[in-house]
Amino acid sequence: IDSAATTRICNQKDWLSNLKQIYPTEVLVGEKDSSAKAVGIGDIKGKVEINIKNVLYVPKMRRNLICGAQIDIVGNYIEWGRDKMIIYNSRKEYMFSVNRIDKLYIVYGYSTKYEAKFKDIALISNLMLGFIHKRFCHVNIPLIQSMSKNNSVKGIEHLSKSEVENCANCKMAKSTRSSLKKNYTYRRTTQRCLDRVHCDLWGTAPVTSIGGNRYFLSIIDDYSRKVDVYIIKSKDLSSF
């Protein structure tokens, strides 16, 4: 987007629809003695409901240019600051934003003529906060909002203000085992040995012992709290 340009210029012929040939016209670029020939005129339609009318086709132009003044002339609004430009329509609804690179504001996108080939590529539009949260491997929400606000990551400059619903994956990852109470004391409910026995079979061990064992069986008597551990080679040896 060039705020000093007086017209729109494109060097990609296949971006233009309704292309009409015109008599070669000199287009001044940069210094007075620098010029290029415009050989056609047409329209470019973007995927965020942006139609750029009367774009000059100049094959030898190094860059495609959008006239910044024309954005204002047609009734749209431009907001500048923090190394980016945000464009709103006449109803002050967000349309798209562009980042400043050196001394130019660069728009990354493709014409809808590329839609079949580049279905997921378009001018930057609203992004759902929950979608970015998942794409960024469930990074916490305040950090994503901070990255968007500070323009830390290209492509997430404008996030939707919708709240993220409870993320089941985050809940599962951050779940912890309930701890015992500080003054917790075990209350014995059995009255004699062998009234209740706790058994647990552990295995398979990732490394086999020297004796060829890969399991151990633990037996705990609830009343006496006596513990016995038996090293065994296979599960079938635990039956008794």
What pLDDT band is residue 190 in, cutting at 50, 70 and 90?
Answer: confident
- Compute the average pLDDT of residues 230-238: 84
Nearest to 70 by CA among 57, 51, 83: 51
Percent of the chain residues topping a pLDDT of 70: 65
Say which residue the tokens 């809940």 belong to. 171
Count the domains in the chain: 3
With contact defined as beta carbons under 8 Å apart, do 10 and 58 qualify?
Answer: yes
Q: What is the CATH number of the domain that holds 92?
A: 2.40.70
The verdict on 80 and 144 lying in the same domain is: no
What distance in Å separates the CA atoms of residue 11 and residue 13, rounded to the nearest whole number? 6
The verdict on 63 and 100 lying in the same domain is: yes
The answer to the question of residue 112 being in a domain is no
- Compute the average pLDDT of residues 180-184: 67
In tens, the pLDDT along 58-76 reads 777 767 777 777 777 778 8
Q: What pTM, to 2 d.p., does this model score?
A: 0.30
b/e burial code for range 187-199 (CB count within 10 A of at least 16 → b): eeeeeeeeeeeee
Question: Could you give phi then psi for residue 101, rounded to 5 degrees?
Answer: -120, 115
The answer to the question of residue 181 being in a domain is no
With contact defined as beta carbons under 8 Å apart, do 156 and 132 qualify?
Answer: yes
Q: Which one has a higher pLDDT value, 215 or 10?
A: 215
**pLDDT score at 219:** 92
The answer to the question of residue 217 being in a domain is yes
> What is the end-to-end Cα distance of the chain in Å, rounded?
81
Q: Is the pLDDT of residue 159 over 70?
A: yes
- Cα–Cα distances (Å) from 237 to 45, 196, 215, 234, in that order, read 74, 22, 10, 6
What distance in Å separates the CA atoms of residue 192 and residue 190, rounded to the nearest whole number? 6
- Compute the average pLDDT of residues 183-205: 84
What pLDDT band is residue 228 in, cutting at 50, 70 and 90?
Answer: very high
Which range of residues forms the domain containing residue 208? 197-232
Residues near 19 by Cβ (< 8 Å), separated by ≥ 6?
13, 40, 41, 42, 57
